[in-house]
Structure 1
Amino acid sequence: MQRFKSLLPQTRFSSRTLSSHPRSFSALPNYAQRNDEEEDSQNQILVEGRAKSRAAILNRPASLNALTTSMVARLKRLYDSWEENSDIGFVLMKGRGSAFCSGADVVRLYHSLNEGKAEEAKEFFKTLYSFVYLQGTYLKPHVSILDGRTMGCGSGISLPGMFRVVTDKTIFSHPEAQIGFHPDAGASYLLSRLPGYLGEYLALTGDKLNGVEMIACNLATHYSLNARLAWLEERLGKLVTDDPSVVEASLSQYGDLVFPDRSSVLYKFDIIDRCFSHDTVEEIVEALEKEAVESSDEWCLTTLRKIREASPLSLKVILRSIREGRFETLDQCLVREYRVSVQTISKNVSSDFVEGVRARMVDKDFAPKWDPPTLKDVSEDMVDHYFSPPLNELEPELVLPTALREPYM
């Protein structure tokens, strides 16, 4: 356990003093422009008022709390107003039902793209990444309760916060490679800072971590049994404070001391580092094949299968994204991820995202026809296309308020 914690740089996006530039906050929605989707978002993002705090509740349990543009826009409006309100000391986020958040509503994005509404997809990414940056530079203590499935950008809207509570029900994963996409919403920042080459492993295979493993990797700060959450939330709801140490003490009061069991992938660190430290996906696959022959470890064969099921183009884009993320600030990662996302949905190089969602989530035949079909067919120029700035005059880059909200490593 100590080895895991000592290997990981501090991943909390700790607050710094912002510049003295004036900032504007939208305290309330613009009711004059409210439409049906915005009204739906009020039902899909619920608010609980407490003594000195507010709780945002993701409320699409039937869809595993998958995010839409209107949901993220409402979160941003709420968080802006709560940060400005001196009566609010800290903020909490949780999900309703069996999941915290299963990520983006990619089926909705799939239908938008098939209907020629690419601008709707771009607006989703722009809104989402802007909220992630707000979360990552938030001035007040933030508690995320990740009870249940936490996938894809579900981690982006929660893990940048100060306190991340996981439970015996938590399942964390980034399965984007299997649908022809890439880990986004700050994932290249987060995953690249995990111990060794664990981030590459998780991003390329889509493998899962449980709550105990997230504690060991410092992805989470506190562990609580699901059965104790009601007591923990009751305690937090009574706090009248903006002091992080007081919030932390309350979380620790209901916490549990846990260690990964021997079956955990975290005990595969030596193999992961040997295989996933290579410069190319082809070399990673070759190293895993060699390891499988020499060790007869079933884990190597399972890992190879997961990689071979993924989009070859996505695998190469993902590896480059994680490697670049190691040397970038959060805002730089988000700007680059936005560029990659826009290029992905533009289909200029490949339609793998639409094909991947079709195969796994729409038709569910689990037989995507990737284009290009193999790693050797993916050229360096194809990968470069996703990372080359600027997009063009009609495709502006993502602009984040770095002058007002200071980025940091």
Structure 2
Amino acid sequence: MMQRLKATLLQRRNNLHVHSLRFLNQFHTRNLCSLPDTNITDELDNQVLVEGKAWSRTAILNRPSVLNCLSTAMGARLQKLYTSWENNPDIGFVAMKWQGILCWRRYCDTLSIKYGGASRMFCDGKMEDCKEFFRTLYTYIYILGEYLGLTGQKLNGAEMISCGLATHYAHSSKLALIEEQLGKLDTDDPSVIETSLEKYSDLVYLDNISVLHRIEILDKCFSHDTVEEIIDALESETSKTNDAWCISTLRRLNEASPLGLKVSLKSIREGRFQTLDQCLIREYRMSLQGISNQVSKDFCEGVRARMVDKDLAPKWNPPSLEQVSKDMVEHYFSPLSKSEPDLELPTDLREAFT
């Protein structure tokens, strides 16, 4: 469903593509538009490769020079591939790879499923124990999300397992064996796929330096209402403990776009109380407002500093949190212009998740 949605949006929103081309021209990167037409097609095809097995297909993102980030053209090609695979009764599931990472999706009555079914939580004991359990769960879901969203940090495999974001962990040396095993399957039964994955799964444990061991500090620092208060709390904690993690986290926040920090925090906080549809619309508005450069060019500046010039020295505008006004932040959540319609979700055609 999401792939079909992307295709519709790509057809209806040509001005988004124009923004992308202008951005590429602005920084004189390897612009596909400067290539002959035949080379453009070849280049785009090479950015998403395909491997076929009897009962499955594998899409391979092939842009390692830019960390395999998706472009508009790549999204269109993936949509075309996914649609054809979804409508093919002989394909049970598909896999996606990039930089050695493997994930899969099953095709049956629905396009995608949450692997392993719904989460199961049990709380046997006194009411106070249950309250503590759910307080800890709240911290994991919300405070950890705010930490990741504001700092740009990533979770490793063990941390994703611990948080329930992944179901299986395997060493990279086993990926080829997993792919071979999945390629031999002639069914889309989740239990069969799970059994196949479990054959190569490894037990993993959190490192001593994992952020998941610092939930109390996260709760203490990232539960504040504003970015300024979060940074003040981290500074206070750093002055008391001289902890390396606090110092590193504080440095990342100070290096980030001040406007981006405030927009991100507002988005995360609003998402707590919104449906999936509302979250998708909010993220869509934020994305287009970000590349429109109407309030700030921080998005393009961040890409320039990180991926184009790679000088890691962005010049943010506004340059400080104090100069970020409420109106600037609110603009990222406002409806789009008449020439750019809001995200239209095909809710009437939505398929049920299993």
Normalised by the length of structure 1, the TM-score is 0.67
One-letter amino acid of the counterpart of residue 303, structure 1: T
Question: Does residue 73 of structure 1 match 2:76?
Answer: yes
Quote the residue 2:87 is aligned against. Answer: 84
Write the distance in 2 (CA, Å) between the matches of 1:303 and 1:207.
9
CA shift at 1:46, angstroms? 1.8
Quote the residue 2:115 is aligned against. Answer: 162
User: Contact conserved, 1:65 with 1:99, CA < 8 A, in 2?
Assistant: no
Q: Which residue, out of 264, 268, 273, partners 1:327?
A: 273
Quote the residue 2:317 is aligned against. Answer: 371
Quote the residue 2:43 is aligned against. Answer: 40
User: Contact conserved, 2:106 with 2:188, CA < 8 A, in 1?
Assistant: no
Question: Does residue 383 of structure 1 match 2:326?
Answer: no
Quote the residue 2:211 is aligned against. Answer: 265
Question: Does residue 220 of structure 1 match 2:158?
Answer: no
User: Contact conserved, 2:139 with 2:215, CA < 8 A, in 1?
Assistant: no
Give the 3 Å change call, closer, same or farther, for CA 248–136 of structure 1 in structure 2.
closer
Write the distance in 2 (CA, Å) between the matches of 1:212 and 1:139.
32
Question: Does residue 402 of structure 1 match 2:347?
Answer: yes
Give the 3 Å change call, closer, same or farther, for CA 193–336 of structure 1 in structure 2.
farther
Runs of 4+ with deviation above 6 angstroms = 23-26, 135-138
Question: Does residue 358 of structure 1 match 2:304?
Answer: yes
Normalised by the length of structure 2, the TM-score is 0.76
Give the 3 Å change call, closer, same or farther, for CA 324–255 of structure 1 in structure 2.
same
Cα distance per residue 1:160-201 (max 9 Å; x no partner): 8637xxxxxxxxxxxxxxxxxxxxxxxxxxxx9953401110
Q: Which residue, out of 236, 254, 263, partners 1:317?
A: 263
Quote the residue 2:337 is aligned against. Answer: 392
CA shift at 1:360, angstroms? 2.8
Question: Does residue 342 of structure 1 match 2:345?
Answer: no
- The root-mean-square deviation of aligned C-alpha atoms, in Å, is 2.9
Aligned residues: 299
Write the distance in 2 (CA, Å) between the matches of 1:343 and 1:42.
29
Give the 3 Å change call, closer, same or farther, for CA 138–373 of structure 1 in structure 2.
farther
User: Contact conserved, 1:90 with 1:140, CA < 8 A, in 2?
Assistant: no
Give the 3 Å change call, closer, same or farther, for CA 137–281 of structure 1 in structure 2.
farther
Write the distance in 1 (CA, Å) between the matches of 2:303 and 2:263.
18
One-letter amino acid of the counterpart of residue 222, structure 1: H
Cα distance per residue 1:62-96 (max 9 Å; x no partner): 4432322121111111111212222111111112x
3-state secondary structure, aligned to 2:348: coil
Cα distance per residue 1:139-161 (max 9 Å; x no partner): 5586xxxxxxxxxxxxxxxxx86
Structure 1 unaligned regions, length at least 5: 1-17, 27-33, 102-134, 143-159, 164-191
Structure 2 unaligned regions, length at least 5: 8-36, 117-137
One-letter amino acid of the counterpart of residue 347, structure 2: T
CA shift at 1:406, angstroms? 4.8
User: Contact conserved, 1:52 with 1:87, CA < 8 A, in 2?
Assistant: yes
User: Contact conserved, 1:359 with 1:366, CA < 8 A, in 2?
Assistant: yes
Question: Does residue 231 of structure 1 match 2:184?
Answer: no
- Identical counterparts, % of pairs: 59
User: Contact conserved, 1:355 with 1:368, CA < 8 A, in 2?
Assistant: yes
One-letter amino acid of the counterpart of residue 71, structure 1: M
Write the distance in 1 (CA, Å) between the matches of 2:210 and 2:324.
33
CA shift at 1:35, angstroms? 6.7
3-state secondary structure, aligned to 1:48: strand
User: Contact conserved, 1:137 with 1:406, CA < 8 A, in 2?
Assistant: no
User: Contact conserved, 2:295 with 2:328, CA < 8 A, in 1?
Assistant: yes
CA shift at 1:329, angstroms? 3.0
User: Contact conserved, 1:54 with 1:92, CA < 8 A, in 2?
Assistant: yes
Q: Which residue, out of 237, 248, 267, partners 2:194?
A: 248
